[in-house]
Each structure stands twice: as structure tokens, then as C-alpha cells.
């Protein structure tokens, strides 16, 4: 993705993680919206068109992979990046989600700034 005017959704139940991602992306010229729950994310999906969504794998009200399915049902072209301290890249469910096109990429927490930016450009 090279269009930095695109809107990016950040979904994480940890406010500090949202803050980190928001500031990283804003410093690169991206506009963002954040949600602290899956329900809030789905409400934002009804209000905005997002080019990309960074999703936490474990949210209090819904599994991140289920949220990815629901986001893609609403907006099939949304690039989904799973960000998790719970799963690993080689986890079977993550590999299946990538191979099925449910998520485009996976980033482990803690992450490097370059990993987030690379996921946007991939």
C-alpha cells in the first residue's frame, strides 16, 4: 500500500498498544481510527472505509480471527494484519488464516517499527 491518505483501523484491547500503533502510523502520514473491542471495530467498519486493519488476536468480546472474518464480510478488500503476543507465526491457525486469505500477514508482539511499515507496503 502506498496511498498514505488511506484510513487504517487499529483494534487492540490494550490502550497503550493502540497508542503505539497510532503514533507510528501518524508519523508516517497515515490516518487511523482505533477500537478497544471487536464490537467497536465493527461499528467503525459501518462508518468508514478502511484499507487496512491491524487486529489483536485476543479481544475480550471476540477472537481476532473471527473479527477478521466479519470485517472481510463487510469490506472484502480490507488488508488484515494480525498482531499478537498470544500466537506465533508458525501456529497452525495463523498459517491456515494466511493460506485462506483471511489475514495478509502476522506480526508478533513485541514488534519492530519496520515490521508494521513492511506489512503496509506488502
Total number of domains constituting the chain: 1
d(CA 73, CA 68): 9
pTM of this structure: 0.91
Is residue 1 over pLDDT 90?
no
**Is pLDDT at 2 greater than 50 in this prediction?**
no
Q: Which residues pair with 86 in a beta bridge?
A: none
Q: How far apart are CA 106 and CA 64, in angstroms?
A: 12
Q: Give domain status of residue 2, yes or no.
A: no
CATH of the domain at 12: 3.40.50.2300
Indicate the helix (H) or strand (E) that contains 54.
strand 52-56
Percent of the chain topping pLDDT 90: 80
Q: Is residue 1 part of a domain?
A: no
| Closest by Cα among 61, 121, 69 to 93 | 69
Residue 16 lies in a domain: yes
Q: Which residues pair with 82 in a beta bridge?
A: 55, 106
Q: Which residue range is the domain that position 57 belongs to?
A: 7-121
Residue 91 has pLDDT above 80, yes or no: no
Q: Do residues 21 and 116 touch, judged by C-beta distance below 8 A?
A: yes
Amino acid at each position: 500500500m502506498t496511498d498514505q491518505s488511506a484510513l487504517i483501523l487499529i483494534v487492540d484491547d490494550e490502550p497503550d498498544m493502540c497508542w503505539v500503533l497510532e503514533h507510528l502510523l501518524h508519523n508516517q502520514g497515515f490516518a487511523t481510527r482505533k477500537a478497544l473491542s471487536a464490537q467497536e471495530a465493527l461499528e467503525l467498519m459501518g462508518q468508514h472505509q478502511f484499507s487496512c486493519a491491524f487486529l489483536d488476536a485476543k479481544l475480550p468480546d471476540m477472537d481476532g480471527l473471527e473479527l477478521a472474518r466479519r470485517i472481510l464480510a463487510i469490506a472484502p478488500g480490507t488488508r488484515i494484519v494480525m498482531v499478537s503476543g498470544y500466537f506465533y507465526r508458525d501456529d497452525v491457525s495463523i498459517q491456515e488464516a494466511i493460506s485462506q486469505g483471511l489475514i495478509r500477514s502476522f506480526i508478533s508482539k513485541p514488534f519492530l517499527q519496520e515490521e508494521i511499515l513492511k506489512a503496509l507496503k506488502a
